[in-house]
DNA sequence: CGAAGTGGTGAATAAACTTTGAATAATTCA
DNA sequence: TGAATTATTCAAAGTTTATTCACCACTTCG
């Protein structure tokens, strides 16, 4: 997502981003930026500081409140910026205008590499594994292109597990992250959802699986890397 | 992890990092850096470009091959650097010497905020020894990359022992730390678990072993240091 | 309203792991 | 060397944890 009041700059960045294979959306003021952010759920934000309606700092702060999405600040040359307090505030990088488009793209690439899981494809906004694709944008799970019906909870569960492949999550953590509340009484809720997912994904691929870690929890296990 | 051939610089950075509450390790050449990297599994690396034995670029490239760990490059003022190709190569940020310590800390903080899991627990590190890796994040024990099945108690036992290599623990201590309660009556519980671990790890390496300290307890013994 | 889809529960069953006790082996020390 | 102490091993019994199932409650939507 590109936020800058100079439409030309937006245009330029958008073109370059698309040339790199990214999806790009541009908005021209701070308030629209926040709105778009919620709707569009970008993987990264390029954010000018001088903006109508709400300045870049405020926008950055608002974004930080609800998301860890990386933010690159664009600053006009000569603009006095306290880099330290800015970084401290949640921005991930600075670029001074006028900039080298090539440099911006390199920085975006560098940040995304670190930020997103290897299996995430920012072009389609989906997590991809052998024969399986998990797309948060449209809440869709596909196996070799065929849609698999997955109710919300099931979808969120597999999405969460698959965003951190190989990492074990306890049931507690999953309940908190996905169900979003402190869970009372014990129950086999998570297990049942795991079971239902397993049924649906049975025999699809042997490169990944929903694995039980006995006495601990579950993980989305993936064999090969790269 | 701080890598710089000027010990003073290392010292300075280390002091500041520790003031911020981080653990810091310093090494002074590229080869040691890679070695330390495997052992220490840092959360972030500060890496000078000019280094003895192997330069910063090469070190960065090697690190990238096996990990997404963030890397900040330190470049001497006037050093000619192609920022773009550098970022593209896997570095996450640049800092030009002489630097503001405050700025470095802010950047580290910014990167870690994004990089580390929600609840930053420094325990999510892997213990690595010759051919053996013990990874608490995925609850996985691997020997030369191959997973070894280990039930919870066995895993926790070897993890605990291996977190303090060469230190002897009595059965009582182990029972308390791992089983988590005062243990009454005598039993060979610990012994049995040790036995099963030994079976699984038999002949894997001669650089370490689960050693009985007669009349006292057990230790995870490692030959070489560093 | 009623059918279909979704989410959660408790109980039965199954699987995996841990502990125990006893037999055996190794080590220490007098 | 041999008695005493400590460690190892084994398999069976015991325990804990996971899976599954059937069912009920709740929501959604025609």
Same-domain check for residues A101 and A147: no
Tell which of A84, A115, A146 closes a domain.
Answer: A115
Classify residue B120: in a domain, yes or no: no
B151 in contact with A, Cβ within 8 Å:
yes
Asked if pLDDT for residue B218 goes beyond 70, the answer is yes
For residue B99, what pLDDT is reported? 75
Q: What is the pLDDT of residue B79?
A: 59
CATH number at residue B194: 1.10.10.10
What is the pTM for the complete model shown?
Answer: 0.69
Residues A110 and A11 in one domain: yes
Instruction: Give the pLDDT confidence score for residue B120 in this predicted structure.
Output: 42
Here the tokens at position A3 are: 């936020």
Whether pLDDT at B87 is above 80: no
For residue B99, being part of any structural domain is answered with: yes
CB of B91 within 8 Å of a chain A CB? The answer is yes
* Predicted pLDDT of residue A226: 45
The secondary structure element, H or E, covering residue A170 is: strand A169-170
Please indicate, yes or no, whether residues A108 and A171 belong to a single structural domain of this protein.
no
The better pLDDT of the pair A168, B92 is held by A168
Nearest to B68 among A114, A166, A215 (CB): A114
Does B85 share its domain with B143?
Answer: no
Same domain? For B134 and B212 the reply is yes
B180 touching A (Cβ < 8 Å) = no
Please give the distance of CA A206 from its chain centroid, rounded to a whole number: 26
Check pLDDT > 80 for residue A193: yes
Nucleic strand C contacts from chain A, 4-23, CB < 7 Å: none
Tell me what pLDDT residue B18 has. 75
Determine the structural domain holding residue A178 and report its residue range.
121-222
pLDDT score of A51: 92
A126 CA – C27 C1', rounded, Å: 62
Q: Which residues, listed in sequence order, are joined to residue B143 by a DSSP beta bridge?
A: B132, B146
Please tell me whether residues B18 and B53 are part of one structural domain.
yes
Instruction: With a cut of 50, say whether residue A58 has pLDDT above it.
Output: yes
Burial B161-194 (b: 16+ CB within 10 A, else e): bbeeeeebbebeebbeebeeeeeeeeeeebeebb
Token pair for B163: 């977190």
Residue B98 lies in a domain: yes
User: A174 to each of A151, A168, A190, A201, B121, how far by Cα in Å?
Assistant: 16, 10, 8, 20, 17
For chain A, say whether B115 makes contact (Cβ under 8 Å).
Answer: yes
Short-list B29, B69, B66, CA closest to B49: B29
- Inside any domain, residue B121: no
Name the token pair of B8. 């003073």
Quickly count: other Cβ atoms within 10 Å of residue A31's Cβ: 14
pLDDT of residue B122: 41
pLDDT at residue A5 greater than cutoff 90: yes
Q: Helices marked H in chain B — which ranges?
A: 7-19, 30-40, 56-66, 83-89, 101-115, 152-163, 171-174, 189-201
A104-151 pLDDT, tens digit each: 888 888 888 877 877 888 778 889 999 999 998 888 899 988 888 899
> Is the torsion defined by CA of B139, B141, B147, B148 positive or negative?
negative
pLDDT tens string B163-216: 888 889 988 888 888 887 665 656 688 999 999 999 999 888 888 999 999 989
Is A96's Cβ below 8 Å from some Cβ in B?
Answer: no
CATH number for A26: 3.40.50.2300
Distance in angstroms: CA A215, C1' D22: 26
Task: Check whether residue A15 and residue A99 sit in a common domain.
Answer: yes
Token pair recorded at residue B19:
């003031």
Q: In this complex, which residue's CA is closest to the C1' atom of nucleotide D10? A: B192
Higher pLDDT, B218 or B42: B218
Q: What are the backbone dihedrals phi and psi of residue B201, each rounded to the nearest 5 degrees, phi first?
A: -110, 10
- What local confidence, expressed as pLDDT, does residue A162 receive? 93
B181 within a domain of the structure (yes/no): yes
What secondary structure letter does DSSP report for B150?
-
pLDDT tens profile B100-134: 777 788 788 777 766 665 444 443 467 888 888 89
Q: Any chain B CB within 8 A of the CB of A110?
A: yes
- On whether both B139 and B218 belong to a single domain, the answer is yes
Q: What pLDDT is recorded for position B77?
A: 61
Q: Residue B22's pLDDT is what?
A: 78
Mean pLDDT of chain B: 81
Among residues B75, B96, B115, the one where a domain terminates is B115
pLDDT of residue A173: 84
Please give the average per-residue pLDDT across B41-59, as a whole number: 87
Express as a percent the part of chain A with pLDDT over 90: 35
Q: A198-207, B23-32, B119-128: which has the minimum mean pLDDT? A: B119-128
pLDDT of residue B123: 39
pLDDT at A78 over 80: no
Q: Pick the last residue of a domain from B49, B81, B115.
A: B115
> Are residues B110 and B10 located together in one domain of the fold?
yes
What pLDDT, on the 0 to 100 scale, is given for residue B226?
45
**Confidence bin at B158 (pLDDT 50/70/90):** very high
pLDDT the model gives residue B185 = 54
Do the chains contact at B152 and A87, CB–CB below 8 Å? no
Is A106 in Cβ contact with B87 (below 8 Å)? yes
Q: Would you tell me how many other CB atoms lie within 10 Å of the CB of residue B93? A: 24
**A61 Cβ neighbours under 8 A, 6+ residues apart:** A89, A90
Residue A129 and residue A208 in one domain? yes
Nearest Cβ partner of B139 from A84, A92, A216? A216
**Are residues B110 and A90, on separate chains, in Cβ contact within 8 Å?**
yes
**Mean predicted lDDT score pLDDT of chain A:** 85
How many independent structural domains does chain A possess? 2
Looking at the structure, tell me whether residues A55 and A154 fall in a common domain.
no
Higher model confidence: residue A187 or residue B57?
B57
Do A106 and A15 fall into the same domain?
yes
**CB spacing of B110 vs A103 below 8 angstroms:** no
Residues of chain B in contact with residue A103, where contact means CB-CB under 8 angstroms, are 83-84, 87
**How many Å lie between the alpha carbon of B202 and the closest alpha carbon of chain A?**
23
Where residue A84 falls among pLDDT bands split at 50, 70, 90?
low
- Give B211 to chain A, closest Cα distance, Å: 27
The percent helix, strand, coil of chain B (3-state, each to 5) is: 40, 20, 40
Is residue B166 domain-resident? yes
Q: Which of A36-50, A68-82, B55-69 has the lowest mean pLDDT?
A: A68-82
% of chain B exceeding 70 in pLDDT: 83
Please name the residues in contact with A204: beta carbons below 8 A apart, sequence gap of 6 or more. Answer: A131, A132, A143
Bases of chain C with protein Cβ within 7 A: 5-11, 16-22, 27-28
């Amino acid at each position: 997502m590109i936020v800058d009041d100079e439409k030309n700059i937006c245009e330029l960045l958008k073109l370059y981003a698309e040339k790199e294979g990214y999806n790009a959306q541009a908005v021209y003021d701070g308030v629209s930026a926040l709105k778009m952010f919620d709707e569009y759920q970008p993987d990264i934000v390029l954010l000018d500081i001088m903006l109508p309606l709400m300045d870049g700092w405020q926008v950055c702060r608002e974004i930080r409140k609800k998301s860890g999405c990386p933010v690159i600040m664009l600053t006009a040359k000569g603009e006095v910026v306290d880099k330290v307090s800015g970084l401290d505030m949640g921005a991930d990088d600075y670029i001074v205008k006028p900039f080298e488009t090539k440099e911006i793209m390199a920085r975006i690439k560098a940040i995304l590499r670190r930020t997103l899981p290897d299996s995430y494809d920012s072009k389609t906004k989906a997590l991809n594994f052998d024969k399986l694709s998990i797309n948060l944008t449209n809440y869709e799970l596909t196996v070799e292109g065929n849609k698999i019906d997955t109710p919300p909870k099931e979808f969120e569960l597999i999405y969460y597990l698959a965003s951190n492949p190989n990492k074990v999550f306890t049931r507690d953590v999953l309940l908190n992250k996905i169900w979003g509340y402190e869970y009372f009484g014990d129950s086999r809720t998570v297990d049942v959802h795991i079971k239902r997912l397993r049924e649906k994904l049975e025999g699809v691929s042997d490169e990944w699986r929903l694995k039980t870690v006995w006495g601990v929890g579950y993980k989305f296990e993936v064999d090969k890397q790269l």
